[in-house]
Amino acid sequence: MTRALFIVDVQNDFTEHGALGVAGGDAVAERISAYLAAHADDYEIIVASRDWHDGDNDNGGHFATGTPDFVDTWPVHCVGGTFGAEYDEGFDTTSVTAHLKKGQGKPAYSLFEGVGDDGATAAGLLDEHGIVAIDIVGLATDYCVRASALDALAAGRAVRVFTDLVAGVHPDSSAAALTEIAAAGAGVTRSDA
């Protein structure tokens, strides 16, 4: 197998009960778990990322000191070690083979910016396991899924984004992100297609 599954930021702060909750986030977490139950063996590696921000600073301007603009500055979210930074309870992580934390003092959107507690990186894992194709799911379509998909394409891999296993902040920006991802060369399809 030379295919990886990237699961982006399925965390409490990005689902309905969180600081930056995405409508449908809990349902996406459950659908990803169901997909994993049926398809985990289709993948050489399964990588999950989490935003993991510092709680004692603005994380390089990522946390707004005044009113957030929701483009470059955001409300406090996914502070490492808090409930908000943990995986959503509907996401069964049993089959995840690598966990990456992104942010940690600076802005970060792409899973490729994450680092494992053991120092692992997405780029290193792809090379180590001979990965040529990546399927991408998670939250949020218009931000971290978008950034992760574009970085995966830039890394020279074949990429698919499963539209039934993502949810976005806003319908218009999510649709625009999927259009951009497709125009860049990724497949944009359903997981059951």
Catalytic residue numbers, as ranges: 9, 102, 144
- DSSP H helices, the chain, are 25-39, 122-128, 146-154, 171-183
Q: How far apart are CA 88 and CA 90, in angstroms?
A: 5
Please answer whether residues 78 and 109 qualify as being in contact, where contact means their C-beta atoms are separated by less than 8 angstroms.
Answer: no
Residues 6 or more apart whose Cβ sits within 8 Å of residue 138 = 6, 7, 8, 9, 10, 28, 32, 49, 144, 145, 148, 165, 166
Tokens, residue 126: 């792809």
3-state secondary structure of 63: strand
